[in-house]
Amino acid sequence: MKKDTKKAENAVMENIISLSKRRGFIFQGSEVYGGLAGTWDYGPLGVILKQNVKNIWWKRFVTDREDMYGMDAAILMNQNVWKASGHVGGFSDPLVECTKCKRRFRADQLDPELRKKNECPECGGKLGAEKQFNMMFRTHVGATEDEGAVSYLRPETAQGMFVNFKNVLDTFHPKLPFGMAQIGKAFRNEIAPRDFLFRTREFEQMEIEYFVDPKNWKPVFEHFVAEMHAFIADVGLDPKKVHELEVPDGERAHYSMRTIDFEYDWPFGRKELYGLAYRTDYDLKAHAKASNVDLSYFDEEAKVRFVPHVIEPSFGVDRTVLAILADSYREDELGGEKRAYLAFSPNVAPVKVAVFPLLKNKDALTSKAREIYQVLRKEFGAVEYDEAGSIGKRYRRQDEIGTPFCVTVDFDTIEKPNNPVTVRDRDSGKQESIPLKDLVSLLSQKLNK
Ligand code: ATP
């Protein structure tokens, strides 16, 4: 990669990271103690952005469907879950350590030239032999620290659904095909966390295990390809930046017969955003064998018993948040002034509308603005009231946090017969005067409510 392109990419990432911090979206984890590599903390605006993503996902994949069962399984699970799933034996990445500076790298992510020469990218020292490094965080449950007390922070949410498959069958008696869905934390002791929220050690996943008769897996797989694109559109990502990669034989996870990686054009290159895998009956069979519990399904019509196969769409919450930030970040000039702003889709914007009185020391203006703020809050929920600083400054702040519309109350609003307010559009900076009685319907239209 050319040096200049690399520099520009870094600049984009630095701008996103600094805006995220400056405006209260995302902070470095444990910052006052110098941080903890691979962890990030969501601040007041970040947590709303993230929650909006999760709500949109839950609505599309759970609430709006009749065939999906929501779950929230424990993060700590019996160690036998991870033995049966193959994670204890095989959830590892290739690790190399520099014999001189002792830094550790993922062998498959090193520059191929340096890898060939066995040269450390940091200090030029000699790299040691490649070892397999298990990425699960190991811990002990209870007061004893013997092998029987070992547990792991889950590295994926999927297994919490497989081990509850029978519970859902026995309590809801669903007919195939049906799915289980879960949103929750996952932990991976990544060798080289990097690129802000892209590769972290603690993150959230939104996963579905969709159970099918093996005869029918193909159309279901295609259905979820389309649904994943639909979700990508729901959160406002540019579809031109999303690419399907058919993962070839030999490169797929051991359990998968077909995998499509949904890759995204990040500022640092094209890499995975989401994954869709055909996991066959690998997991249910492995858990049935290891636990001695029957995890088969009885088809009442055909009078046959079999172990269902699984299609798994898997989404990273934090990668979605980063893609939204990267996609929305813009710089331009407005009224002769440079500005940076986030062109969030209204669906995900943490604040939908901001309401300002023109001046803060005029009671007539502030009380009218507060009255309008209360009405809009009931209607749209995420609405802010702001009276501090000049109007220009208030607009800039709302632009930076991605608020689609600002409403300003001035003397015309209280003096003129139809009480006009000014509605300003974030992206164009255009302002229009609207009779107060039309405000809610106009904003509803603009916010696609
Ligand atoms: P990668 O190849 O990038 O390490 P993966 O193929 O191991 O990813 P999966 O095991 O398929 O990832 O996990 C499903 C989803 O979880 C990914 O598509 C991604 O969105 C998210 N994810 C995985 N690892 C991380 C991580 N370390 N930090 C943030 N999100 C992650």
Cβ–ligand 1 contact at 350 (below 6 Å): no
8 A C-beta contact, residue 352 and residue 383: yes
Taking the C-alpha atoms of residue 298 and residue 96, their distance in angstroms, rounded to an integer, is 49
pLDDT band at 6; cut points 50, 70, 90: low
Transcribe 335-401 into DSSP letters. Answer: TTEEEEEE---TTT-S-SEEEEES-SS-HHHHHHHHHHHHHHHHHHS-EEE--SS-HHHHHHHHHHT
Compute the radius of gyration of the chain from its Cα atoms.
26
Taking the C-alpha atoms of residue 307 and residue 295, their distance in angstroms, rounded to an integer, is 7
Helix H or strand E segment including 232 = helix 217-234
The pTM score is 0.94
Taking the C-alpha atoms of residue 310 and residue 324, their distance in angstroms, rounded to an integer, is 29
Cβ–ligand 1 contact at 200 (below 6 Å): yes
Ligand 1 atom closest to residue 197's alpha carbon, by position in its atom list: 29
Q: What is the pLDDT of residues 224-246, one digit of tens each?
A: 999 999 999 999 999 999 999 99
CA proximity to 396, closest of 329, 340, 353, 335 = 340
Taking the C-alpha atoms of residue 247 and residue 245, their distance in angstroms, rounded to an integer, is 6
Strands (E), 30-123: 40-42, 68-71, 76-78, 92-97, 104-106
Q: Whose CA is nearest to atom 12 of ligand 1?
A: 275
pLDDT band at 208; cut points 50, 70, 90: very high
Taking the C-alpha atoms of residue 208 and residue 189, their distance in angstroms, rounded to an integer, is 23
8 A C-beta contact, residue 123 and residue 98: yes
Cβ–ligand 1 contact at 275 (below 6 Å): yes
Instruction: Name the DSSP letter for residue 265.
Output: E
Instruction: Name the DSSP letter for residue 191.
Output: S
pLDDT band at 92; cut points 50, 70, 90: confident
Ligand 1 atom closest to residue 274's alpha carbon, by position in its atom list: 18
Percent of the chain's residues with pLDDT above 70? 98
Instruction: Name the DSSP letter for residue 410.
Output: -
Instruction: Name the DSSP letter for residue 272.
Output: E
8 A C-beta contact, residue 383 and residue 356: no
Cβ–ligand 1 contact at 205 (below 6 Å): yes
Ligand 1 atom closest to residue 188's alpha carbon, by position in its atom list: 27
8 A C-beta contact, residue 120 and residue 100: yes
pLDDT band at 253; cut points 50, 70, 90: confident
Q: What is the pLDDT of residues 164-186, one digit of tens each?
A: 999 999 999 999 999 999 999 99
Our mutation pick for probing the ligand 1 site, out of 182, 314, 317, counting the most ligand atoms within 8 A of Cβ, is 314
8 A C-beta contact, residue 115 and residue 107: yes
Q: What is the pLDDT of residues 53-90, one digit of tens each?
A: 999 999 999 999 999 999 999 999 999 999 999 999 88
Q: What is the pLDDT of residues 35-50, one digit of tens each?
A: 999 999 999 999 999 9
